[in-house]
Amino acid sequence: MANLSGRSKQTTSWVQRVSAGLKAWRFGSVLGVFLLVVLGIGWRLTDLHVVDNDFLRKQGDVRTIRVESIDAHRGVVTDRHGEPLAVSTPVQTVWANPSETDPEDPQLAVLARILEMPEGDLRQRLRDYAGREFIYLRRKVQPALARDALALGVGGIYARQEYRRYYPAGEVTAHVVGFTSIDEKGQEGIELAYNQWLAGEPGAKRVLKDNRGRVIKDLMLIRDAKPGKDLELSIDLRLQYLAYRELKAVVNAHNARGGTLVMLDVDTGEVLAMVNQGSYNPNDRSQLAAENLRNKAITDLFEPGSTMKPLTIAAALESGKYKVNSTVDTSPGYRRFGRFTIRDHRNYGVMDLTEIIVKSSNVGVSKIATDLGGDTLRNLFARMGLGQATGIGFPGEAVGVLPAPPKWRPVEESTLSYGYGVSVNALQLAQAYMVIANGGIRYPVSLMKQDRPPEGQRVLSEGVTLAVRNMLKEAVARGTGGRAQPALYAAGGKTGTVHLVGSQGYEDSMYKAIFAGMAPVDDPRIVTVVAVDAPQSGEYYGGEVAAPVFARVMGDALRLLNVKPELEVTGAKSPRAASGERG
C-alpha cells in the first residue's frame, strides 16, 4: 500500500511538471508569435514612412475628397427691347501642375504655339514653379483651343470651365455698359455701378478626385451656384447705333478731338442713347487707351455757351417782368464792363425775346440778366438740375459748377446768362432741355428702363415752356440752328459755340460746337444734345458742326420710334444762309 501511494504521488508530480511545461511553452509560443507580429508591423511602418514613403503619398493622392467651386455666370445686360449688351459665355482655362510636367518635354513647343505663348517663357515658368501644383497657362480661351492643348497628352496640363464676358455691340455701347476684369468684376460703366446686382454667387460641391485632378465622382452638393441678376437698360440699341454712327462720322469729317451725344425720352427721363468719341472695344483689351475710357457725357464738364440763353429767357418770362413781345435795345451791339466787352455778331438794335434767341444775341440776354439779377437766374438753373448730380448712379459723374457769389457783379450776371462761368455735363444740359420740352416737369434721368411713369417735379409753368419752345422753333426755322432741321419733322433747339479751356486759360483757336434741341417741337418726344470738341476742318460753330448731326439723328430716331411725320415740313429749306448767323 505504501508503494502504491508513493507511485501515485510521483505520477501526480510528473503530470504537474509536464502541465507546467506545456503552459510555459504555449505562453512562450503565443508571446513569440505576438512579438513577431509586432515586429512585422513595426518593420512595415518603418518601411512605409522611412524607406518607401512615396507609396503612402501616392495612395493618398490616388483617391482624394476635395471641395470644388461651382462657377456662377454673371447677369445679362440688355437694352430696353431685350437685345443683349453684355453676356457671359462658357470658356476654358488651361492650367498646369508643374510638379507633373517635364519642362524638357518636346511637345511643349506645340503647346506653346497653340496657346500663343513664347516657348521659352512656357518652359521657364514650369521650371520656376516646379514646386507648385497649380499655375495658369492661358485663361478664358475658346473650348476648341483647350481641346487641342489637352489632345497633346502633355503630363500635368489640364483645363477647367470658366465664364468670359462678351459685349455684342462692342464700342457702340462701351461707355454705357463698361467692362469687367478677367475675374468678371465690374471695372467701368454699368458693370461697375451694378456689380453686386450682376455678380453671381459661386456654389460648392464635394468631389472625389484622382491624383491628376480629374473628378471621379460627385459626392455631395454643398451649396448651389446663384447666377447674377439680369439688368434691362433704358438704351434703345437701334438709336444707339445711329447716334454712334453719326457722331463718329462728324468727328472724323472735322478732324475733331472727340464728341458726345445724349438722347432722352421727354416723358420719362430715360436715356435712349449715350455715345462718345473716341471709344474702345471692350472685347479687345489690348487696344485700351485710358483717355477713351471715360463716359464723357457724364464725367466731362464744359461751359454750355449760348445753349443757356433759352433758360435765361425762361427766367425772364417766369419773373413776370417780360412777355414774349417785350423788347430790348441791343445797340450799339456790345456792352463794356471795364476791360471786358460783350459783343454780338452785329448791331441788331431793338429786338423782342424771340429775336434775341433767333439771332443769339449776347447783348440782349445780358441786359435781361442784369435786370433780373444773378440769383434769379441761378435759382432757375438749379431747379432745372444744373450744378447737382443727376441721380443716374453712374461712376465718375461730375456735378458741374453753378456759381453763387455773395454779391453778383454785372459781368458775372451777364456771362452766366449765355453760358460762361457755369459748367455742365451733356446729360445735365439734356435734362434742362427736357424740362422745356415736356411742359416744365423735371424727371430724374435714368439708365434703367422704367416700368411705370416716374414722379417728376414741376419747375416751370406750361405757358413759359410753350413760349420758349416756340422761340426754339424759330431759331431752327430761320436762325442759327437752320442746319438742325430733320427731314419730315419740325424741331426746336439752340446752338452754342464756346472756347475750350487749356492750361493757360481759354484757347483762342479751339472750340466746342454744341447743339441742344427737341423734336417734334410742337409735341416733343425726344431731346438730344450734341457736342463736338475742337473741330479742325475750318468750321467750328455749333450751327455748322453739331446741328447737322442733330438733324440726321433726330430724323432717323423719330422714324424708328414710329412718330408720325409732319408732312408740311417736307421740302423746307434751311434759311441759315439768309439769316447770316452761325451760332
C-beta separation of 91 from 164 below 8 A: yes
Contacts of 369 (CB under 8 A, 6+ apart): 312, 377, 413, 414, 416, 417
Strands of the 271-277 sheet, one edge to the other: 271-277, 258-265, 526-533, 505-519, 492-502
Grid cell, residue 412, equals 458775372
| DSSP one-letter string for 478-496 | HSTTGGG--TTS--EEEEE
103-117 residues labelled b (16+ CB within 10 A) or e (exposed): eebeebebbbebbeb
Strand spans (E) along 23-101: 64-70, 77-78, 84-96
Contacts of 34 (CB under 8 A, 6+ apart): none
**Does the annotation count 306 as an active-site position?**
yes
Q: Reduced to 3 states, what is the DSSP secondary structure of residue 209?
A: strand
| DSSP one-letter string for 123-162 | HHHHHHTTT-S-EEEEEEE-HHHHHHHHHT--TTEEEEEE
C-beta separation of 52 from 44 below 8 A: no
Of 262, 301, 293, 295, nearest to 394 by C-alpha is 295
Which residue out of 306, 417, 446, 574 is catalytically annotated? Answer: 306
Angstrom distance (rounded) from CA 467 to CA 453: 26
Task: Please give the positions annotated as active site.
Answer: 306
